[in-house]
Amino acid sequence: MSSTLHSATFAPGRFGPYGGRYVPETLMVPLFELERAYEAAKTDARFQAEFADLLKNFAGRPTPLQFASRLTAHLGGPRIYLKREDLLHTGAHKINNAIGQGLLAVKMGKPRIIAETGAGQHGVASATVAAHLGLECVVYMGTEDMARQALNVSRMRMLGAKVVGVDSGSRTLKDAINEAMRDWVTNVRNTHYLLGSVLGAHPYPTMVRDFQSVIGREAREQILAAEKRLPTHLFACVGGGSNAIGLFHQFLGDSAVKMVGIEAGGRGGQLGEHAARLAAAQGFTGARPGVLQGTYTYILQTEDGQIATTHSISAGLDYPAIGPEHAWLADQGRAEYAAVSDSAALDAAHLLSHTEGIIPALESAHAIAGLIERLPRLSGNDLVILNLSGRGDKDMDTYSRLL
């Protein structure tokens, strides 16, 4: 599939049938305002220069593309390269998008930002950028996630953000987004909602993808310099899907490059035991198209259309919907999506730590587990880029209890 064909298949804000704007009338005005500001920023030399400067001198880009020699030798399969987003300031890829949206908030004259977070990395990134740019920051976080990501809660508060615990529903990411949207409806005049993934109403899925596409641009240049050829496979974990689409986007026009997104298989295939939206072929039940929190995409639902509870050992993957562009890529067969269990992710984290001296975030460990499970389909001639989207500091309590 060429990039031209891909981009021609949907109207602005749509990926095939997916995407769109499904929000209260109150939010249409700020969404239009954000779309105009973002479209202007694309061609604003001053904005782009400031964005590039902060990515380099504040966040720490470019990140290395590391040949994982010992992991490659241990697995005995393809050559494996790790895109080291875990080395960024704040410890994950989330800072790329937070910088871009923080600059847009300043451009729009919005002195207050709100954010949602599951694993806490987007909350930390939002709090970090807000402090750097002199903005007020409020972060909504489910109390279940606050308990398992206590370190990141402390980091956000250290940075001056107000962390609001959400005790409704499953007390996880979905509920945090609900509360953030309620805040935004009330405070649209002075507040920008710094959404953390390729979710929500247009322009968020497109805008967040564009801010994260620096991952794939760098990885493409780096792999060509190192190997003189494109990769045969890309692997990334997929919750909402921003780290995955950030890697995939630059390779969409290269039909020989296979893209694999790894979801949270949790404890099993029954609804409520997992957070796998696109892995029906593996027996994970409950996902079908619907509308959640502003966008039309695949959502885990009960038979009567209620949003299902989800489970993942990883807070960042514990969400019932997936980004609309991923839904479209799955429908088109351009990307493959599969799920791995909690226990497989733990084993993969243990393996990477012991072979490469890198403790990955639990989210990233799912991508490693997905690669391991696919080894029988791969050969020594294959070349893999795996997006190591975050570091494991935040998950040490879980690792220490379960490993």
In order, the DSSP letters of 283-303 are T---EEEEEETEEEEEEEB-T
pTM of the model: 0.95
Residue 130 has pLDDT above 60, yes or no: yes
Choose the catalytic residue: 83, 94, 258, 394.
Answer: 94
Query: Mind listing the pLDDT tens digit for each residue in 69-88?
Result: 999 999 998 999 999 999 99
Chain center to CA of 71: 24
Task: Quote the pLDDT of residue 12.
Answer: 84
Confidence band for 162, pLDDT divided at 50, 70 and 90? very high
Asked if residue 3 has pLDDT above 60, the reply is: no
* Average pLDDT, integer, range 128-149: 95
pLDDT greater than 70 at residue 9: no
72 touches 80 (CB < 8 A):
yes
Q: Is 389 a catalytic residue?
A: yes
| Average model confidence (pLDDT) across the chain | 95
Q: What is the pLDDT of residue 169?
A: 86
- Selecting among 312, 325, 389, 394, the annotated active-site residue is 389
The whole-number pLDDT of residue 10 equals 61
- Measured between alpha carbons, how far is 390 from 172 in angstroms, rounded to an integer? 19
Q: Is the pLDDT of residue 4 over 50?
A: no
Residue 258 pLDDT more than 50? yes
CA atoms within 13 A on the CB side of 242: 29
CATH number assigned to the domain covering 22-57+94-209: 3.40.50.1100
> Has 379 been annotated as catalytic?
no
pLDDT of 67: 98
Count of other CB atoms within 10 angstroms of residue 49: 10
| Nearest C-alpha neighbor of 371 from the set 395, 397, 352, 392 | 352
pLDDT surpassing 70 at residue 152: yes
Of the options 3.40.50.720, 3.40.50.1100, 3.30.420.140, 3.40.50.970, the CATH number for the domain spanning 61-91+213-402: 3.40.50.1100
- For 225-242, the pLDDT digits (tens) are 999 999 999 999 999 999
Tell me, yes or no, if the two domains 22-57+94-209 and 61-91+213-402 fold the same way: yes
Q: Which of 35, 83, 110, 116 is catalytic?
A: 116
Domain edges within the chain = 22-57+94-209, 61-91+213-402
Confidence of residue 211 (pLDDT cuts 50, 70, 90): very high
Helix (H) or strand (E) holding 339: strand 335-341
